[in-house]
């Protein structure tokens, strides 16, 4: 994007593609450090529970229910690995390679309260339509010649689905708070800083085409989750977050939208388990087509309102 009033900042690696290779290097190092630290924390935590084991990580990922206090252990693993894979490398790159500050993630004035409320409603209104996309994507079939690839992808999908189900099986209020932090807040901050704040920004500056940058970043954002049968709905979510960042000029708004998307699901699961609501948001049955159409129409109307209220229609400069 490059609509900004900030003075030009000279990167230590001026070439966009070389600088992105440096970013990838930071991510790989952070991922390695995060995995080692997560394993050490898990061993230390489980040792206090009387179950010291060096192969705890593999057991936790394959069969978390077999690990004593596995839910808490998995939360430790998720939060540590995520912080060091996404947030820490992105900030190190931003500070020491781009030579920028936190304020440089933003390029417009703070959004007013009605924009935040509108985004809250927008993200929730988008969910039924995206559920239909999830169903369509999950029904994807490969040619017989690619049966091996399809089986491998389904195996990965099933493993991630089991982990997700295990993570959302909690009952107490303290567990809800932990889940909101680990499943909603940490990914919202880390992934938006990396994908929207750094990657989308760099691609838009290089290509001078913010729309291409938004969709390419959204595709990478979706692919990095390695959930092949959820690629399209996550692609749409990534594009939604990207346009919210572009229109508002505030990374915090994209972070908020991401948090609402994840946090609303966590909260609804908790309320359903406590029978406070009758809607099981994890239900994989088809969304009524009429509901999906209404959701799409509401999403389009709300997106138009965000576009106008952020004043973007008055200013078509790129960031």
Concatenated DSSP letters of 132-150? HHHHHHHT----GGGHHHH
Q: Which of 81, 95, 71 is nearest to 11 (CA)?
A: 95
Range of the domain at 275: 16-314
For residue 4, tell me if it sits in a domain. Answer: no
For residue 263, tell me if it sits in a domain. Answer: yes
Between CA 230 and CA 221 the distance in angstroms is 12
Q: Model confidence over 19-56: pLDDT tens digits?
A: 899 999 999 999 999 988 988 888 787 777 665 555 66
Residues in contact with 179: Cβ distance below 8 Å, sequence separation at least 6, in sequence order: 75, 167, 168, 170, 266, 270
For residue 3, tell me if it sits in a domain. Answer: no
**pTM, 2 dp:** 0.88
For residue 228, tell me if it sits in a domain. Answer: yes
Average pLDDT over residues 68-82: 87
Q: What is the pLDDT of residue 272?
A: 85
For residue 11, tell me if it sits in a domain. Answer: no
Asked if pLDDT for residue 3 goes beyond 60, the answer is: no
Q: What is the pLDDT of residue 284?
A: 61
For residue 8, tell me if it sits in a domain. Answer: no
For residue 232, tell me if it sits in a domain. Answer: yes
Q: Model confidence over 120-171: pLDDT tens digits?
A: 999 999 999 998 888 888 776 767 666 676 676 666 666 677 777 777 778 8
Phi, psi dihedrals of residue 225, rounded to the nearest 5° = -80, -10
Asked if pLDDT for residue 184 goes beyond 60, the answer is: yes
Counted domains in the chain: 1
Residues in contact with 244: Cβ distance below 8 Å, sequence separation at least 6, in sequence order: 119, 253, 254, 257, 306
Between CA 241 and CA 252 the distance in angstroms is 11
For residue 74, tell me if it sits in a domain. Answer: yes
Q: Model confidence over 302-312: pLDDT tens digits?
A: 999 999 888 65
Between CA 38 and CA 209 the distance in angstroms is 39
Lowest mean pLDDT among 59-63, 169-173, 215-219: 59-63
Asked if pLDDT for residue 92 goes beyond 60, the answer is: yes
């Amino acid at each position: 994007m490059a609509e900004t009033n900030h003075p030009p900042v000279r990167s230590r690696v001026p070439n966009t593609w070389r600088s992105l290779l440096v970013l990838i290097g930071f991510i790989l190092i952070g991922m390695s450090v995060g995995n080692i630290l997560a394993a050490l924390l898990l061993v230390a935590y489980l040792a206090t529970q009387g179950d010291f084991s060096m192969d705890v990580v593999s057991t936790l990922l394959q069969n978390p229910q077999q690990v004593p206090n596995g839910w808490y252990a998995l939360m430790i693993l998720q939060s540590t690995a995520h912080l060091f894979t996404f947030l820490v490398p992105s900030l190190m790159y931003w500070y020491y390679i781009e030579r920028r500050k936190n304020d440089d993630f933003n390029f417009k004035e703070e959004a007013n309260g009605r924009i935040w409320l509108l985004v809250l409603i927008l993200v929730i209104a988008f969910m039924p339509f995206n559920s239909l996309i999830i169903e369509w994507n999950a029904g994807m079939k490969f040619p017989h010649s690619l049966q091996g690839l399809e089986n491998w992808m389904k195996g990965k999908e099933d493993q991630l689905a089991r982990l997700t189900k295990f993570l959302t099986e909690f009952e107490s209020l303290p567990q809800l708070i932990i889940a909101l932090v680990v499943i909603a807040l940490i990914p919202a901050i880390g992934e938006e800083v990396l994908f929207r704040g750094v990657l989308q920004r760099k691609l838009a500056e290089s290509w001078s085409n913010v729309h291409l940058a938004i969709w390419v970043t959204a595709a990478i954002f979706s692919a990095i989750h390695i959930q092949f049968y959820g690629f399209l709905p996550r692609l749409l979510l990534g594009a939604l977050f990207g346009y919210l960042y572009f229109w508002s000029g505030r990374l915090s708004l994209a972070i908020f939208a991401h948090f609402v998307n994840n946090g609303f699901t966590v909260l609804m699961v908790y309320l359903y388990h406590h029978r406070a609501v009758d809607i099981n948001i994890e239900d994989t049955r088809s969304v009524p087509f009429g509901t999906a159409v209404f959701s799409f129409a509401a999403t389009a109307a709300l997106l138009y309102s965000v576009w106008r209220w952020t004043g973007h229609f008055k200013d078509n400069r790129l960031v």
